[in-house]
Amino acid sequence: MITVLAFIVTIGLLVTIHEYGHFLVARLCGVRVLRFSIGFGKPLLIRKFGKDQTEFVLAAIPLGGFVKMLDERELKAERELKAEQESQSDLSNKSQLATQLTAGNCFVLVTVYARCHRLTPNNRSGRRQ
């Protein structure tokens, strides 16, 4: 039972880091994020934060997640509600889109690398022995 629980917690942590990479790069590129969700199924917790009122969701099954960004279809409706959205970058810039799609995997890689090369009491220099 502990093994199953440890697996779920580990996958949940990796999913969170992965999705945060997408979230962070989208925000840095000026794309509005509508929802940051960890898990699938029925939402257990929903909170809105920030000036954009991004929804942060924790769902029942933490084995996946997603970041919902403002796309062209929603952008038209959003422009009617807020004039400031016209200055937002759209997803037609292919380099931005490629960066956003690979960011999640890069964050997982950096986290795993940092974890494998952490300083230990016997190895204060940070070099692997």
What amino acid positions are annotated as catalytic residues?
Answer: 19
How many whole angstroms separate alpha carbon 47 and alpha carbon 100?
23
Tell which residue, 66, 69, 50, has the closest CA to residue 16. Answer: 66
- The Cα-based distances of 4 to 7, 8, 10, 34, 119 in angstroms read 5, 6, 10, 32, 29
